Structure 1
């Protein structure tokens, strides 16, 4: 498949025409990069205007980012709609305004009395079709404005619950106050909201403390190119 060959060719000075015809590049997005940072870097590297990503990853998340070039940009919505898999950690005993570590923890509560059995049992309420309220610090638009911009201005933002599906929610390790997980979910799912809601269900609060996207449909992060492998001389 084309995307597998990119592991070898993305660092080479290939003809621009081959990218305009359409390529799928799998990138392992590093920490603190925005998804657009990756697109901008690749746009400069391969000298092409028609390029985009199939599903945003927050700056504090790492992992699989699908990049489409040329005619393959028409496939972006198709890739975005596919099932996604994540691994990460939730820190219990506090919340943050952004539901992750882009803001400071607050509302500290004790996790004493929270048992592994309680943590395992709490996943059941978040498995299957659920209604989820997106974070107010997100890129969703209200009347043409990003809600995170409104939130940063201190304006009240109310988002309605949206239907999403959590196909599996597995607790992989417990080292309180940190809980490690693996989630498979539908498009449109906010893992930050899942972390916040999970902590609320346990009565002690929680926020997303790390996140890595490991799969989108049949695309695996193991086949992705790290950004360090992309040439930096452009």
Structure 2
């Protein structure tokens, strides 16, 4: 049985599941550190276990599942759940990171692309896939994340990984932008789907916006705004 989402009063040491809406520009590690620091000051303790179930890239927003205390043992279970994302792919260009974090490195024609071609290409990227992760990713090779090797210009062979895309729905087409909603298994890189969509259209594609709207049964309406959550965890000397 899954732990329920947690609302005040919090029992951080016994265990809490906090669904946080990660702000754009923050790393998942930044958010966990901020929450951990607030809990330590709130309880007046030096250490407490706090972790997250599934990294979001800095440019992404949306659901970050954070567990505290004894519930950190459930992180792997939470990480294994299907996830839903919404966002925007820009066609006609590529970047080394497959998203807007890196500059455009190539441009391609888009005049031949029709709305029906885009929908069919998205449909072709559903089901069980062997997906090639981006070189700018947190996957570790020889103990070091790929993105660190990529930034140093080190050439690394990246092997395809099995993932499942349950649905790849196109929700808006206004060339060169394409909005989507994707439900997929753990380990799926939406950036790679953006790149592959462009490639399958004989063009290019890269991710320009991304939001994780749900994880398993946990819906967007259950998320905490980060500042609102921190406001519920005042330092001990602030009084309660």
* 2:62 counterpart of 1:63: yes
Residues of 1 paired with 2:92 and 2:123: CA distance?
20
1:87-102 matches, within 5 Å, as: 87-102=86-101
Correspondence for 2:238: none
Correspondence for 1:111: 110
Structure 1: tracts of 5 or more residues without a match: none
Residues of 2 paired with 1:231 and 1:122: CA distance?
42
Residues of 2 paired with 1:150 and 1:166: CA distance?
28
**CA shift for structure 1 position 129:** 0.2
Contact in 2 for aligned 1:139/1:146 (Cα 8 Å): yes
1:125-140 matches, within 5 Å, as: 125-140=124-139
Q: Secondary structure at the match of 1:86?
A: strand
**CA shift for structure 1 position 105:** 1.5
Correspondence for 2:164: 165
Contact in 2 for aligned 1:96/1:103 (Cα 8 Å): yes
**CA shift for structure 1 position 113:** 1.7
Correspondence for 2:44: none
Correspondence for 2:215: 216
- CA deviations over 1:137-171 (Å, ceiling 9, x no partner): 11111111111111111110111111100000100
Residues of 2 paired with 1:49 and 1:105: CA distance?
42
Correspondence for 1:41: 34
Residues of 2 paired with 1:2 and 1:229: CA distance?
22
Residues of 2 paired with 1:136 and 1:113: CA distance?
29
Correspondence for 1:32: 25
Of stretches 68-77 and 47-56 in structure 1, the one that deviates more from structure 2 is 47-56
What is the count of residue pairs matched by the alignment? Answer: 226
Residues of 1 paired with 2:58 and 2:6: CA distance?
27
Q: Secondary structure at the match of 1:118?
A: helix
- Using the size of structure 1 for normalisation, the TM-score is 0.92
Q: Secondary structure at the match of 2:124?
A: helix
- Using the size of structure 2 for normalisation, the TM-score is 0.90
Contact in 2 for aligned 1:3/1:26 (Cα 8 Å): no
Correspondence for 2:146: 147
Residues of 2 paired with 1:168 and 1:59: CA distance?
24
* 2:148 counterpart of 1:186: no
- CA deviations over 1:67-87 (Å, ceiling 9, x no partner): 000000000000000010000
- CA deviations over 1:197-234 (Å, ceiling 9, x no partner): 11111111000010000110001121100112133776
Residues of 1 paired with 2:205 and 2:161: CA distance?
21
Contact in 2 for aligned 1:33/1:59 (Cα 8 Å): yes
1:197-208 matches, within 5 Å, as: 197-208=196-207
Residues of 1 paired with 2:124 and 2:155: CA distance?
28
**CA shift for structure 1 position 106:** 2.5
